[in-house]
Structure 1
């Protein structure tokens, strides 16, 4: 008699997690034209260091109790996840200096393919056929949105490495984050990312924004696209399989195109409409058709030692 209410509660949590993750991708998408303008004046590593330092300090002030309550194992998990994300950010940023932004966007988005592949290879996850269809549709949508020719070189190699790290981060969150540890894990990750980016920024000196508009952009990206988004992603992935989360996150370039047209002065094109339609179709496949043939993955079963927390 208790199984049905528990199943309904789990389904509601998954729907809320999906909506929250969609909101995160919308926020990320809104930052593209802001970052493009800001890094003209502030080097990428400096921007990342200041952004995540502010996010970390604010998150610790808000979530101090939850962060200090983390177990040693949770703390090590947060550090490991932060290293993955910080390294991915730095590799992606460096790669962007050596390749076109459109190519970088596509290659970074290949985490949608790498996530189920790594899950199957590392953890023996079994992925439903409908999910593989969604992965293919999302990848095609990214290609239509982003690619105008692709030559593989140094920048593309660095960006592909960052995509692999993003995929591992998504898998790690899906397996090790829990609703009751999400705030603490997110805070630890923010500190680790800030430290890594600060180390990368130090050799050339730290450059700060020079006017109010630049600081406003940076604070938005630190507080909303940094602190809130990192917490929301960590919490959402405690309720979603990694591959499903990766497919939801391919909405980011769709939102980026939307905001580029709405606020960045770009023109709406057939490529934007076609690529966006493919990504949204992928969302339909994984969210609706996937319910009829649910995924069976190892990540859906929490370790035995954690079961006493799930009351």
Structure 2
């Protein structure tokens, strides 16, 4: 396994860490600022911060390659679908069920990747995905409730996130990672703003007193700079050197980090079943890595 693949996998693990550790911050903030308004401001700030980076990098001249424009919009639409349908789904189902169903994208990625891009998943990646799904189920503590509208909406969200990973793999190899990230983030911001105008009290949500609320402001800055601009830039760049199936397995560590930090920060109980789920997700990630580790050891000793 070459150094670029190691760096890519470690970078993606850092993305899962960022998303997992900011979960509590976001959950607290959207109790004051509605979800679509939060995402509008979050992704707008994230996109503008990357535009500033591009401006500095290009010495004051901003131009976008054609190879970044349409792919960036497509990726942004998939990313928006993930966030939008997850938000709507939470109106009708529980957070635990929503988390488990969203996590099913780890299985959808290799299946859709094979159907769309003809990428046959490795046996180790498939085994890792199954272990991660079982872990996600245990982490959600299991539910015997019947299927409802919210579950179906969150399933659409899982397809959105899965397709985002798959098409990031397709487009990231031929386009600038920075430009591709900027366009997809601003696309999410634009679509979120339309949803905000249609479904939320946007005037109250965007009031200065609301945005300057210390809890909301800190959440917006942290998520815009770390969980949006930095995280998606890292993901886009890292996917040049790894496969969609491996990305999906590694990113299942997000709920593990969320569970751990929820326990540390707000004392949320981590039951033995949930802890077992965390372990299975971690083992799933290791399964996806084992063949490369084995080949690296063999090459080192020969």
Report the equivalent of 2:299. none
Does 1:246 pair with 2:257? no
Report the equivalent of 2:264. 262
Report the equivalent of 1:200. 195
Report the equivalent of 1:278. 280
Given that 2:29 and 2:215 are in contact with CA atoms closer than 8 Å, whether structure 1 keeps it comes out as no
Q: How many Å separate the matches in 2 of 1:212 and 1:121?
A: 46
Secondary structure of 1:152 counterpart = coil
Give the alignment of 1:20-169 within 5 angstroms: 20-64=11-55, 68-149=62-143, 150-169=145-164
Q: Of 235, 238, 246, which residue of structure 2 is paired with 1:236?
A: 238
Report the equivalent of 1:181. 176
Secondary structure of 2:266 counterpart = coil
Report the equivalent of 1:309. none
Secondary structure of 2:92 counterpart = coil
Is the deviation greater in 119-128 or in 249-258?
119-128
Q: How many Å separate the matches in 1 of 2:112 and 2:293?
A: 22
Q: How many residues align?
A: 285
Given that 2:12 and 2:247 are in contact with CA atoms closer than 8 Å, whether structure 1 keeps it comes out as yes
Report the equivalent of 2:8. 17
Secondary structure of 1:63 counterpart = helix
Gaps of 5+ in 1: 1-7, 295-311
Given that 1:186 and 1:234 are in contact with CA atoms closer than 8 Å, whether structure 2 keeps it comes out as yes
Given that 1:104 and 1:159 are in contact with CA atoms closer than 8 Å, whether structure 2 keeps it comes out as yes
Q: How many Å separate the matches in 2 of 1:181 and 1:68?
A: 13
Is the deviation greater in 89-98 or in 179-188?
179-188
Q: How many Å separate the matches in 1 of 2:232 and 2:131?
A: 26
Secondary structure of 1:239 counterpart = coil
Deviation, structure 1 residue 122: 1.5
Given that 2:124 and 2:290 are in contact with CA atoms closer than 8 Å, whether structure 1 keeps it comes out as no
Deviation, structure 1 residue 205: 3.5
Deviation, structure 1 residue 221: 0.9
Report the equivalent of 1:308. none
Secondary structure of 2:121 counterpart = coil
Deviations 1:251-280 (A, max 9, x none): 000000011011122123212320111011
Kindly report the root-mean-square deviation, in angstroms, between the aligned alpha carbons of the 2 structures: 1.9
